[in-house]
Structure 1
Amino acid sequence: MTDDGVRAFLDRVDHPVRRRDAETMLELMSRATGQPATMWGRSIVGFGSYHYRYSSGREGDAPAAGFSPRKAATTIYLADGVDAHPDLLERLGPHTTGVGCVYVKDLAQVDLAVLEELVRTSYTAVTAGTFGQRAREGGAG
């Protein structure tokens, strides 16, 4: 299900809640995306990929869904941006957001079915072949 880098990374997570939540996210995102987990950089566990192009012409590839067990909270990356999911976020439970991230301190306090639907919906939007920009560049384009 995962590459060796993902397992090694998760095995190094010290915080007990982040480690538990990382294992939950690994399973949840694998189910929601149908993709295996791979490392993107040193700290992001990604699932699938998409190609983006900024209005400046800069382009690249990024994970279509991902998470990272950060010190303060688990960061869940939504490439299509949090603004695309107001109804799901309202039902999620305790969290904060950035432009393309949802921060959860304890997955035991959120509705995991809603989180899985959020990840699946975002992943589907990003991989449908019509998505071309990252959230901070203005969403779908």
Structure 2
Amino acid sequence: MAKNENKTQATSQDVVEYLNTIEDDQKRADAFKVKDLMTRLSSHPAKMWGSSIIGFGTYHYKYDSGREGDFLRVGFAPRKANLVLYIMSGFSTYESLLEELGKHKTGKSCLYIKRLSDIDDSILEEIITQSLAYMAEKYPE
């Protein structure tokens, strides 16, 4: 791996095979729903990134420092405690949507959801749609 390369790279691991290893029935069902939603909204097939992240589409970034690479446009990881959705645009413009979303937590670009039944699916869809639009403008395909 090159010195400045991302640790998390796209792999050839099968997404469905990976999702089928999730032991918790509800978490597995939720993960398949998120996969289908992100596939539909992004118009990109699901692809494994690293050992546990499912990503849709890619973009190429280059920082002022010279570091550059490729990463997923949107994605998620079915972690033990939460579904972690990677909303690459961050959350600064989504405050009103987040207020309507339901039970969740956020990090810089991570949206943590315990289960899909805790949130409003249409609000989640809008957040993902807006994030993909932002990414398309900032990093055209």
TM range (shorter): 0.7 to 0.9
**Which of the pair has more CA radius of gyration?**
2
**Residues 76-100 of structure 1, C-alpha deviation per residue, up to 9 Å, x if partnerless?**
0011112232121111110000000
Corresponding position: 1:108 with 2:109: no
1:90 to 92, 99, 114: 99
Matched position secondary structure for 2:40: helix
1:79 to 64, 81, 88: 88
Distance 2:25 2:39 in 1: 21
How many pairs align?
A: 129
Dislocated runs of 4+, deviation >3 Å: none
Corresponding position: 1:57 with 2:66: yes
Matched position secondary structure for 1:77: strand
Which residue of structure 1 aligns with residue 4 of structure 2? none
2:77 to 68, 87, 100: 68
The structure richer in helix per residue is 1
TM-score, structure 2 length as denominator? Answer: 0.85
Contact (CA 8 Å) 2:62, 2:68: kept in 1 or not? yes
Distance 1:74 1:126 in 2: 21
Which residue of structure 2 aligns with residue 137 of structure 1? none
Which residue of structure 2 aligns with residue 136 of structure 1? none
Corresponding position: 1:126 with 2:132: no
2:37 to 28, 31, 36: 28
Counterpart AA for 1:88: L
Which range moved further: 23-32 or 67-76? 23-32
Counterpart AA for 1:126: M
TM-score, structure 1 length as denominator? Answer: 0.85
Corresponding position: 1:11 with 2:17: no
Percentage identity across aligned positions? 41
Distance 1:116 1:81 in 2: 15
RMSD, aligned α-carbons = 1.7
